[in-house]
Amino acid sequence: MTMQPTAPVETGRSLHDAGASLRRQRARESSARTYARSFPIVPVRARGMVIEGTDGRRYLDCLSGAGTLALGHNHPVVLEAIRRTLDSGAPLHVLDLATPEKDDFTDALFATLPKAFADKARVQFCGPAGTDAAEAALKLMQTATGRRNVLAFTGAYHGMTAGALAVSGGVSTKRPVAGIAADVTRLPYPYSYRCPFGAGGERGAELSAAYTERLLDDPNGGVVPPAAMILEAVQGEGGVVPAPDDWLRAMRRITAERDIPLIVDEVQSGVGRTGAFWAVEHSGIVPDAMVMSKAIGGSLPLAVLVYHEDYDSWLPGAHAGTFRGNTLAMAAGAATLRYVTRENLVERAATVGARMTARLDGLRAELPAIGDVRGRGLMIGVELVDPDAEPDSCGARPCAPALAQQVRAACLDRGLIVELGGRFDATVRLLPPLVITDEEAEAVLDRLADAIAEVTAAQHARRSA
Ligand SMILES: Cc1ncc(COP(=O)(O)O)c(C=O)c1O
């Protein structure tokens, strides 16, 4: 396996600057720091897929702002839109007033939506983060239906504010927050490799759908009529778990038959990432609401909730907020949405993603710590396992979180930024920009394979010592 060495670049800054910044960050910022712990980098420059630290090292960024940067860092189209808007003298902050930029962004966004959805859609500009739009979706459906309970899935991630956290699956972030889990019914997401029914494959997904349906119809099942079901078509933070299209169609049928609004969270899976502009398009379902953020702002903060007009039940001010009119984000976002469409980046994500996934899958024989390779388009997950442990009934070996952390660090040594997610944070997640070149895709896989090989060889040597 070959690894391209990362060429250091002269920047005139010393390592000492980076060390001091990192020390100050550790001293001043909250202990909830996340990425900053795994990546001791002080970025000063970035372009496309490459990010450069104060120390002059360059990294291939396969995290892309947690899936935000559809066009990579500082794409010329995005910079041009921002510059043009700044030079135009447009107000940068206008609460929720109409602006030409908002009008144009809404045009651009609606043009990307499945037609059957766009034709009857309303949009709510939310606070700037994905969690704000998830929160808005839950509130809207609770208002529209007069119900409180929400159906949500194992492995889900919808954000960190109270409602979004309540419908998310991560136990450790919820446990310290009193009362957080109220009014949520948890359902099994079809995670083939670690199937909640121990069946896996299509059968596992069928069982998940059958369980959901029977539970909702069971007068003693304990589930009061729900205000909504919320799901991700491909779980991202949950370890890059794509739901089978048939399962999504089953969820659509089950919710429609019972008058339960279906909210699809496309915060991470949207804007071409999965090889469709929106991940729901793979299955052809039309949800009642879609939650969007990350890439729609072209790297600036923007979040919206788009929903069927029938649910437009809010009174004026029912979902107010100061930051609902980020002019620069709308300009950068509109430019991004149009560029993704114009340059066929959706198709590119599907092709490059399939190639990367196939190569990773091929590495499993050589690298038995790779338990599962899955994903859709350029949303790819590599679940790392203990190759020496016994497999379960689905053939899955136990997660290897320590190994995954070592692999992430070994990737960083090789100039590659990858993040972990999923159960026990044992899944390496690849979220490269849609503009990734063939050479960059190869370099990512070379570096990742080399890192896994080195870390597992060291583990093997330790175990046999
Ligand atoms: C599917 C999904 N929903 C919601 C969120 C929350 O977005 P934010 O971190 O911007 O609040 C995320 C973040 O990763 C996400 O992946």
- Contact between residue 126 and residue 161 where contact means Cβ atoms under 8 Å apart: no
In the sheet where 416-417 sits, what is the strand order?
43-47, 50-53, 58-61, 416-417
Ligand 1 atom closest to 164 (CA): 4
Supply the residue whose CA is at minimum distance from atom 7 of ligand 1: 130
| CA of residue 156 to ligand 1 center, whole Å | 10
The ligand 1 atom at the shortest distance from the C-alpha of residue 301 is: 10
Ligand 1 centroid to Cα of residue 130, in Å, is 5
**What was the pLDDT predicted at 356?**
98
Tokens 């990737």 found at: 411
Give dist(CA 301, CA 126) in Å, integer.
Answer: 10
Taking the CA of residue 111 as centre, how many other CA atoms within 13 Å lie in the half-sphere pointing to its CB?
15
**What is residue 181's predicted lDDT score, i.e. its pLDDT?**
59
Contacts of 83 (CB under 8 A, 6+ apart): none
CA separation for the pair 243, 69 (Å, rounded): 23
Can you tell me the distance from the alpha carbon of 48 to that of 210, in angstroms, rounded to the nearest whole number? Answer: 44
Q: In the prediction, which pLDDT does 6 show?
A: 44
Q: Domain ranges in the chain?
A: 18-67+345-464, 77-342
Q: Around 455, how many Cα atoms within 13 Å sit in the side-chain half-sphere?
A: 29
Q: What angle do CA 117, 349, 330 make, to 5 degrees?
A: 55
- Centroid of ligand 1 to alpha carbon of 256 (angstroms): 26
Residues with CB under 6 A from ligand 1: 66, 129-131, 134, 157-159, 232, 236-237, 265, 267-268, 293
How far is the centre of ligand 1, averaged over its atoms, from the C-alpha of 290 (Å)? Answer: 13
Residues 155 and 171 sit within 8 Å (Cβ to Cβ) = no
63, 132, 157, 173: residue to mutate for ligand 1 pocket, most atoms within 8 A of CB? 157
Q: For residue 177, what pLDDT is reported? A: 85
Neighbours of 120 (CB within 10 A): 12
- State the closest ligand 1 atom to the C-alpha of 232, by its place in the atom list counted from 1: 1
Overall residue count recorded for the chain in this entry: 465
| DSSP states of 286-345 | --SEEEE-GGGGTTS---EEEEEGGG--PPTTTT--S-S-BHHHHHHHHHHHHHHHHTTH
The DSSP code for 404 is: H
Which of ligand 1's atoms lies nearest the C-alpha of 159? 6
Contact between 414 and 185 under an 8 Å Cβ cutoff? The reply is: no
What's the rounded Cα separation, in Å, for the pair 100 and 406?
49
Q: Any alpha helices (H) in 30-129, and if so which ranges?
A: 35-38, 64-67, 76-88, 100-112, 115-118
CA distance 63 to 418: 6
CATH: 3.20.20.100, 3.90.1150.10, 1.10.287.3510, 3.40.50.1820. Which one for 18-67+345-464? 3.90.1150.10
Ligand 1 atom with the shortest distance to the CA of 265? 1
Strands (E), 181-267: 184-187, 228-231, 234-235, 241-242, 262-265
CATH number belonging to domain 77-342: 3.40.640.10
134 CA → ligand 1 middle, Å: 8
Residue 249 has which token pair?
A: 């169609």
* Residue of 268, 271, 302, 305 to mutate, ligand 1, most atoms within 8 A of C-beta: 268
Ligand 1 center to residue 33 CA distance, Å? 16
Q: Give the tokens for residue 45.
A: 């420059």
* Residues with pLDDT less than 50, the chain: 1-13, 15
Q: What are residue 129's phi and psi, to 5 degrees?
A: -110, 160
Q: Determine the distance separating the centroid of ligand 1 and the alpha carbon of 39, expressed in angstroms.
A: 20
pLDDT at residue number 16: 52
> Which tens digits make up the pLDDT trace of 355-391?
999 999 999 999 999 999 999 999 999 999 999 999 9
Of 182, 36, 104, give the one whose Cα is nearest residue 338: 104
What's the 3 CA to ligand 1 centre distance in angstroms?
33
Instruction: Provide the pLDDT for residue 18.
Output: 84
Which atom of ligand 1 is nearest the CA belonging to 294?
10
Question: Which pLDDT belongs to residue 393?
Answer: 86
Burial 388-413 (b: 16+ CB within 10 A, else e): eeeeeebebbbbbbebbbbbbebbbe
Q: By the 8 A CB rule, do 382 and 448 touch?
A: yes
If one counts every other C-beta atom within 10 angstroms of the C-beta of residue 191, the result is 27
Ligand 1: distance of its center to the CA of 19 in Å? 30
